[in-house]
Amino acid sequence: MGRLRGREPSVCACLRTVGCAACHIPRLPLTNQGWIFTEPNPYNPSGNLRLGDAPTLRVDLTSHELPPPRLKPDAHGVVWVPAFSDLKLHDITAGPNDPNAEALDQNQPATSSKFFAGNTRLLTRKLWGVANSGPFMHHGKFTTMREAVLAHAGEAFSSRQAFEVLPAYEKDCVIEFLKTLQVLPPGTRSLVVNQDFEKKEGSHDPD
């Protein structure tokens, strides 16, 4: 995942002003070598391969031996992941009768009454690669990013209102920024590139 940037400056600051970045946090830290993938891992539930059941496969996801581009630890040993998420559940609907609420609560046991009571608490969508991942919203009912933004309610209602009162140009800037969050083609060497998929002058990986 990376960013395709044209000549316009980043409007990531605008996301913070509107309030989107309160949940769609631009960067999350990986510490304690959390970029080392292992399998089996300590979090595998019962019924799956567990630690000690087989030799452990370890892969350093920052390794130069893997296809680029790669996130790298900073001087403090932290890898900053541009996920644009807080990885938390939030109620972003107007209530159980909101058409964007889920009819089933898959966080509950499948045979319980709570399972059939519906769900309004949704995991904050990671926005990295969002430009390549339509249709949009958790249910995939929207064909445009703007529709998804305008469907936010509940805990995200104030952010939606802040977006709605922006001048038309600034609204378009937010959408255009989201369009830069793309899955880059194989062979791309940098995480932040121009329209020719070459490293954006003056950019840093990650941006």
The answer on pLDDT for 5 being more than 60 is no
Most confident of 13-17, 152-156, 177-181, 190-194: 152-156
Q: Is the Cα dihedral 145, 90, 141, 98 positive or negative?
A: negative
Q: Which tokens belong to 7?
A: 């000549």
> What are the tens digits of pLDDT across the range 40-82?
999 998 899 999 999 999 999 999 999 988 999 999 999 999 9
Upper half-sphere CA count for residue 106 (Cβ side, 13 Å):
5
Look at residue 191 and give its three-state secondary structure: coil
| Local confidence band at 207 (pLDDT 50, 70, 90 cut-offs) | very low
Look at residue 43 and give its three-state secondary structure: coil
Specify the pTM.
0.84
Over residues 139-157, the mean pLDDT reads: 97
Over residues 75-102, the mean pLDDT reads: 95
Q: Are 12 and 174 in contact (CB under 8 A)?
A: no
Residue type, 146: R
The answer on pLDDT for 8 being more than 70 is no
Over residues 181-200, the mean pLDDT reads: 84
d(CA 192, CA 12): 14
DSSP category for residue 182? E
Q: Which tokens belong to 82?
A: 């541009």
Q: Burial, 94: exposed, middle or buried (Cβ in 10 Å; 0-12, 13-18, 19+)? A: middle
Contacts of residue 158, defined as CB under 8 A and 6 or more positions apart, other chains included, come to 19
Chain-centre distance for alpha carbon 22? 13
| Local confidence band at 3 (pLDDT 50, 70, 90 cut-offs) | low
